[in-house]
């Protein structure tokens, strides 16, 4: 009997470490909180992840892993090594989804995108983003609890069972990666700080659709700031409103908010969205033009001018089309 037991253990360990995987298709398995090793073994066997539920339980017992398996959603392949399965279950949920964060989203809108695909709620994401303990170098100390503008827009692969903080850290880390080659020293020459340049980039992101117009919008912003003019950018009013509106009214333009650049001179207190890299680059490299007005002409394009009367004429033509 002793020889048989030893042989059984030898075969089990051989399968555990050397038995080849049998498939590459995807198998999804959910492990519930507090689920027993026996139940987990049965699920994995039913899905074809392991060849034997009994062997799974035996090896888990031999290696003392029964209490190490974490609850959550997993992706496996059929016929995996038992050791591979153990490692995955000990590391935690590995079900990955792709989440696209477009340019121009606010923190709240980003929270909604993340919430749609992961276990993170909007409230959890917003709370994590407002925690104020990430210490982003470009953000002034008194504004560290506001990450608006720094959750970089990109397509991410995220684990479904993920913490809000880890997602925020991932997006912040991507910002640092994307702007690593950006020459922030140009900000000083433009009369702004790197943080203020990011605010300008967020305005550009919401105002410009065409890449070749981003430096022109940047020029208008700097020209108006240098001339002591209000920026009068509709996107800042939209940010101040509780909901996005297709058309702003004159009443909207009187919204009492520090973000309303129709009422207040200078830049808004923070970015109004997360800009893409092209808008950040444009904010640091405005076009060398004297434009101080622009009006949307349709198709995503704008008409730019330094003449107020010409601006009014084109604006009226566009409105009458």
pLDDT tens, residue by residue, 87-100: 999 988 888 888 99
pLDDT of residue 22 exceeding 80, the answer is no
Backbone angles phi, psi at 104, to 5 degrees: 90, 10
Inform me whether the pLDDT recorded for 268 exceeds 80: yes
pLDDT at 221: 98
Distance between CA atoms of 245 and 255, rounded to whole angstroms? 13
Supply the pLDDT for residue 13.
Answer: 56
| Domains of the chain and CATH, by start | 2-91 (3.30.1490.480), 96-178 (no CATH), 189-319 (no CATH)
Predicted local distance difference test score (pLDDT) of residue 246: 82
pLDDT of 210 reads 95
Residue with more model confidence, 229 or 25: 229
Strand residue runs (E) in the chain: 27-31, 72-76, 96-100, 155-159, 293-298, 301-305
Average pLDDT over residues 16-28: 61
Q: Of 321, 320, 295, which is closest to residue 307 (Cα–Cα)?
A: 295
* Beta strands at 72-76 and 96-100: parallel, antiparallel or unpaired: unpaired
Which residues, at least 6 apart from 282, have a Cβ–Cβ distance to it below 8 Å?
Answer: 201, 204, 208, 214, 215, 217, 218
pLDDT band at 121 (very low <50, low <70, confident <90, very high): very high
Whether 125 and 164 have beta carbons less than 8 Å apart is answered as yes
17 pLDDT above the threshold of 60: no
- Read off the tokens for 292: 């101080």
Indicate whether 119 pLDDT > 60.
Answer: yes
Using the structure block, give the residue that is written with the tokens 């640092």: 176
pLDDT band at 71 (very low <50, low <70, confident <90, very high): confident
* pLDDT of 245: 83
| Cα–Cα distances in angstroms (integers) from residue 91 to residues 29, 69, 72, 86, in the given order | 15, 8, 11, 9
- Rounded to an integer, the average pLDDT of 175-203 is 97
Mean pLDDT, all residues of the chain: 90
Task: Quote the pLDDT of residue 95.
Answer: 80
Instruction: Give the residues across from 179 on adjacent strands.
Output: none
What's the confidence (pLDDT) of residue 185? 96
**What is the model's pLDDT at position 14?**
58
For residue 238, is pLDDT > 70?
yes
Instruction: Using pLDDT thresholds of 50, 70 and 90, give the confidence band for residue 129.
Output: very high
Say if CB 146 and CB 202 are below 8 A apart.
Answer: no
- Band (pLDDT 50/70/90 cuts) for residue 23 is low
Q: What is the pLDDT of residue 4?
A: 58
Query: What pLDDT score was predicted for residue 124?
Result: 97
- pTM across the whole model: 0.79
pLDDT for residue 213: 97
CB–CB of 271/255 below 8 Å? no
Q: Are 216 and 294 in contact (CB under 8 A)?
A: yes
Tokens of 128: 């994590």
Residues 6+ apart with CB under 8 A from 31: 40, 43, 69, 70, 71, 72, 74, 89
H runs (alpha helix) in 63-163: 82-91, 107-117, 122-129
**C-alpha closest to that of 60 among 37, 39, 32, 35:** 37
What pLDDT was estimated at residue 225? 97
Distance CA 71, CA 104 (A): 35
Share of the chain above pLDDT 70, in %: 93
Q: In which band, very low, low, confident or very high, does the pLDDT at 319 lie, cut at 50, 70 and 90?
A: confident
**Nearest C-alpha neighbor of 161 from the set 85, 281, 74:** 74
Residue written as tokens 């904010």?
283
* Least confident window among 45-59, 187-201, 216-230, 254-268: 45-59
């Amino acid at each position: 009997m002793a020889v048989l037991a030893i042989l059984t253990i030898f075969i089990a360990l051989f399968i555990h470490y050397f038995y080849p995987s049998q498939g590459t298709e995807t198998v999804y398995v959910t492990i519930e909180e507090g689920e027993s090793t026996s139940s987990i073994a049965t699920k994995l066997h039913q899905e074809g992840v392991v060849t034997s539920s009994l062997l799974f339980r035996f090896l888990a017992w031999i290696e003392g892993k029964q209490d190490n398996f974490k609850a959550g959603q997993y992706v496996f392949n059929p016929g995996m090594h038992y050791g591979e399965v153990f490692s995955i279950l000990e590391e935690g949920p590995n079900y990955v989804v792709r989440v696209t964060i477009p340019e121009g989203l606010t923190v709240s809108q980003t929270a909604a995108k993340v919430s749609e695909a992961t276990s993170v709620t909007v409230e959890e994401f917003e709370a994590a983003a407002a925690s104020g303990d990430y210490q982003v170098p470009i953000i002034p100390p008194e504004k560290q609890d506001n990450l608006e503008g720094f959750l970089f827009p990109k397509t991410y692969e995220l684990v479904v069972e993920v913490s809000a903080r880890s997602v925020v850290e991932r997006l912040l880390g991507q910002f640092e990666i994307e702007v690593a080659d950006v020459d922030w020293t140009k900000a000083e020459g433009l009369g702004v700080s790197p943080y203020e340049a990011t605010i300008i980039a967020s305005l550009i992101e919401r105002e410009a659709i065409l890449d070749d117009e981003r430096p022109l919008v940047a020029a208008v912003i700097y020209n108006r700031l240098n001339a002591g003019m209000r920026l009068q950018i509709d996107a800042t009013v939209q940010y101040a409103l509780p909901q996005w509106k297709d058309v702003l009214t004159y009443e909207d333009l009187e919204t009492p908010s520090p973000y309303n650049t129709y009422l207040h001179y200078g830049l808004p207190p923070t970015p109004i969205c997360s800009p893409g890299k092209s808008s950040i680059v444009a904010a640091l490299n405005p076009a060398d033009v004297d434009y101080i007005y622009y009006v949307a002409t349709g198709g995503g394009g704008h008409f730019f001018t330094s003449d107020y009367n010409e601006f009014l004429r084109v604006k009226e033509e566009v409105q009458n089309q």
